[in-house]
Amino acid sequence: MIWSDVTSDPIDTAGLLARVGDPEDGAVALFLGIVRNHNDARPVSGMDYEGYAEMAREQLAAIVGEAAGRAGSDRIVAVHRLGALAVGEVSVAIAASTPHRADAFDAARYVIEEIKKRLPVWKREHYLDRDAEWLEGRVPAAQCGKVS
């Protein structure tokens, strides 16, 4: 099953894993992006993820579809969370199931790298020792060169 979503709900990793897998598969790769307690040697207390959900859903579906084509598997799923997250919470999850481990790892890595490049989601870190800051991101490819 090729599936993706952008949600404000906590990510159910067991539910995500239940969407992949097949008797012909020898590998399932699960990638979890977790809010960590530091960044650039600064203590972090949490993170806000904001985004254009409709566009993010479309872009994430495209990314997962591309990963499936590259891996030769229709068993790749991904979900990205929006909203306020505490340290330790899952912000993004990707599961890929393939006959061989290299393809599963490659598919999951492709999805997360493309998310970082293309998904219209922005994050603001909350620090313990100073004010919150938006982290520098990238302009999605579809927006490059356009002036509004």
For the stretch 79-122, pLDDT in tens is 999 999 999 999 999 999 999 999 999 999 999 999 999 999 99
Predicted TM-score (pTM) of the model is: 0.90
| Residue 134: both structure tokens together | 């938006």
Spatial separation of the C-alpha atoms in residues 13 and 145, rounded to whole Å? 37
Sketch the domain layout of the chain as residue ranges.
Answer: 2-130
Whether 25 contacts 97, CB under 8 Å: yes
Its CATH class, for the domain covering 2-130, is alpha beta
Residue showing tokens 């799923």:
77
